[in-house]
Amino acid sequence: MLIFIGTLLISASLCVNASVEKPQKPKVRGLKEFLSSGHEVITTGLIPADEKTRFFVIGDFGSFTKHFGLQKSAQMMEGLASRKEFSHIITVGDNFYMNGIPDINQLWHPQSIMEVFNGPHASLLPFYATLGNHDCYSDYHNEILFSDYNRQWQMPSDYYELITPLKDNSGKYFVNLMLNSCKLMCFDDKWAGKYCKKMNTGSGSEAVLEHYKWLEEKLQKYSMEDSTAWLAVTLHHPPFLENALKEHFLPLIRKYKVDFIFTGHQHWADYANMDPDYITRFPPEEPQVINNCSKAKEFLFIENRDHTFYKGEKLHQILSGNGGTFLRKICPIKEQDGDLYFRNKGYNGVVAVEATKEKVTISYHRDVNDIVYQVNVINP
Ligand SMILES: [Fe+2]
């Protein structure tokens, strides 16, 4: 506890200077270098490399209200990154509560959050960020600018491509489209009109339509390319749960046979998937209560905590929204679109992704050696 408070105070005082002077970023390569590096992969150089590409997924984390949660996730990442080689961290948004970064000259809060990831291994990993609703409550451009002020933070734009070369010498890539959920939620004002205003997004605006156009172009491109081993999207709001994403966003994702959706927003961990021929039910149907629990911390649709699928068999939604803030009540549990397999609000933690051309393993970590749920997808 004392150590943590110490860290906070030190980083707060350091950040006063950081807010007026741009620091050098020598140890973590930026996205430009990352994308132009061909098959070379970011390596910490601290542990032996192997042929598996690994990254973390963290969401809804940038808060000190429940600081032990944030600290626990960061320590977990450090523990995992000290055992196996990870190349980067992606965020599924709500990076800085409650209102993102309102002023680029006042960076003590985001810098202090980032200071928690100060372990010798985790601190070498770049954070590739996406925006959550809280990040859009003020000018989200400040989170892009923050890339110039923090060594790990990499956000070149509000949406961008993150192409990770696989380390297995296959010459293939893990393609991850990093999306702006604040825009994608606002195709029109049918579901989220007031919410869009709060997120400073014009429903149906040119900027929103541009994002949708960009998304379809990229999906078309990468779904056709032989070098794409796996195709993923990362955005804050979960498309299986949000009505505002079901009408325009989800059909695109399904049309181009995306493998994985990495998401957050709900402050828990959950896994759900969707069959290719599934017909979205909610709305117009009203979801029914499937488990009338009042205090349960976990819901397991099937007892087994380890599932294996073939590529293309399902669209996988991985929700990692328990990165560091308070955990949200999961009861009573209602039906949702797709099939819900697992939901847990009992811990703060992260998801680790491990990929080769043949297989992706998604591990929900409650602790370094405690995987509470695991999903494998095989490309035969
Ligand atoms: Fe959120």
Taking the chain (380 residues) in runs of 10, the rounded mean pLDDT of each run is 31 32 47 44 65 97 88 97 95 97 97 96 96 98 97 96 96 98 97 96 98 98 98 98 97 98 98 98 95 94 95 98 94 96 97 98 97 97
Strands 370-378, 306-310: pairing is parallel
- Work out the burial of residue 89: count CB atoms within 10 Å of its CB; fewer than 13 is exposed, 13-18 middle, 19 or more buried: buried
Say how many Å lie between the CA of residue 367 and the centre of ligand 1.
23
Q: How far apart are the first and last CA of the chain?
A: 48
pLDDT of residue 44: 57
pLDDT of residue 174: 98
Q: Where exactly are the structural domains of the chain?
A: 51-378
Strand boundaries in the chain, DSSP class E: 53-58, 88-91, 127-128, 153-154, 160-165, 173-178, 228-234, 260-263, 269-274, 289-291, 298-300, 306-310, 315-320, 333-334, 339-344, 350-355, 359-367, 370-378
Say how many Å lie between the CA of residue 265 and the centre of ligand 1.
4
What one-character-per-residue DSSP string does 85-100 give?
---EEEE-S--STTTS
Say how many Å lie between the CA of residue 45 and the centre of ligand 1.
35
pLDDT of residue 67: 80
pLDDT of residue 64: 84
Say how many Å lie between the CA of residue 341 and the centre of ligand 1.
22
Say how many Å lie between the CA of residue 136 and the centre of ligand 1.
10
Say how many Å lie between the CA of residue 236 and the centre of ligand 1.
7
pLDDT of residue 17: 32
User: Which 8-state DSSP code applies to residue 286?
Assistant: P
Say how many Å lie between the CA of residue 374 and the centre of ligand 1.
24
At the top level of CATH, which class does the domain 51-378 belong to?
Answer: alpha beta
Say how many Å lie between the CA of residue 266 and the centre of ligand 1.
7
